[in-house]
């Protein structure tokens, strides 16, 4: 019986729609290939104050570009704006396959000096809603999407967090957890 109750609790926590919870923020993006659209509502306050956000993500369409990927990402910048790390979901416009990724860059906003990069395959294909959680706590940035987790130890103090869609159409929804405060 305890296993069943625990399973239901976890399902409600990981799949907010099952718990009839309304999102506190919805970011819908529809961005041409080769471009990005940053959300006008910063999530910095939630990430820096609470250290995590939870919700779900759905990439409905990936758009092909020769130089750019497609998808949805979180970007964390260092306080001095010299380093940044991206975590999120990339999608392949030809196959519909999706990856969860983490990429670390140095040298300011305009620099392409990649320090490290890592990716893991996600089972879902385009147009599937997937639960997600992003956390930044005690120097570690992690993202979990549909049960696949990837992370990176940060060697800088986070200054700001942003979310954006690029070369894709999709929706990211963010939920309050019971007992959590802004």
111-163: per-residue pLDDT in tens? 778 999 999 999 767 788 999 999 999 999 999 999 999 999 999 999 989 99
Tell me the average pLDDT of the chain.
Answer: 84
CATH superfamily of 23-175: Exo-inulinase; domain 1 (2.60.120.560)
Helices and strands in the chain: count of H runs, count of E runs:
2, 12
Cα 99 to the chain's mean position, in Å?
Answer: 11
CA distances to 26, 165, 174 from 70, in Å: 19, 8, 21
Mean of pLDDT values over 68-96:
91
Backbone torsions φ then ψ of 44, nearest 5 degrees = -55, -45
For the chain, give every domain's residue range.
Answer: 23-175
Better-predicted residue by pLDDT, 108 or 161: 161
Nearest residue to 98 (alpha-carbon basis) of 119, 76, 67:
119
CB 104 within 8 A of CB 115: yes
What pLDDT, on the 0 to 100 scale, is given for residue 178? 55
Backbone torsions φ then ψ of 161, nearest 5 degrees = -120, 145
* DSSP code per residue over 53-81: EEEEEEEEEE---SS--EEEEEEEEETTS
CB 102 within 8 A of CB 76: no
């Amino acid at each position: 019986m305890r296993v069943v109750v625990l399973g239901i609790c976890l399902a409600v926590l990981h799949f907010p729609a099952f718990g009839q919870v309304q999102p506190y923020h919805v970011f819908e993006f529809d961005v041409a290939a080769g471009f990005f659209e940053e959300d006008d509502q910063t999530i910095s306050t939630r990430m820096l104050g609470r250290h995590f956000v939870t919700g779900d993500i759905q990439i409905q369409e990936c758009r092909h570009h020769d130089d750019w990927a497609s998808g949805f990402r979180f970007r964390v910048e260092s306080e001095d704006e010299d380093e940044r790390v991206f975590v999120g979901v990339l999608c392949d416009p030809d196959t519909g396959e999706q990856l969860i990724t983490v990429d670390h860059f140095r040298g300011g906003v305009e620099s392409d000096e990649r320090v490290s990069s890592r990716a893991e395959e996600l089972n879902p294909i385009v147009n599937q809603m997937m639960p997600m959680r992003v956390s930044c706590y005690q120097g570690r940035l992690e993202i979990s999407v549909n049960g696949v987790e990837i992370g990176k130890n940060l060697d800088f103090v986070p200054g700001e967090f942003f979310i954006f869609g690029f070369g894709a159409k999709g929706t990211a929804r963010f939920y309050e957890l019971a007992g959590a405060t802004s």
